Amino acid sequence: MNYTMKKSIINQITNRIKELKDQRNWSWEKLAYSAGVSKSAICQIKNEQNLPSISTLLKICVALEMSPSEFFDFNLDLDKL
């Protein structure tokens, strides 16, 4: 995976997490607490420094009361890849 593709995927996943947390009027700190994930892990996601691990993403889904398939129910913009 090239750098541009990775950055695009990170951006789209981060935007999805932000959209879902904002729908609940949650701060990033509230998301970290509710998901049982460290603030530093959430900060790396928020700042698009890293993709969340599968484990972290599953914890975020549980906190947001949704399945992973519901989380990924958005149009991944393949034109940006």
Sign (positive or negative) of CA dihedral 79, 15, 38, 35: negative
- The pLDDT value given to residue 63: 97
Please give the chain's pLDDT, 81 residues, in tens.
688 888 888 899 999 999 999 999 999 999 999 999 999 999 999 999 988 999 999 999 999 999 999 998 876 665 655
- SS3 category, 15: helix
Domains belonging to the chain, first-starting first, are 3-68 (1.10.260.40)
- The pLDDT value given to residue 78: 59
C-alpha distances (whole Å) from 71 to each of 3, 36, 49, 74 are 24, 18, 20, 8
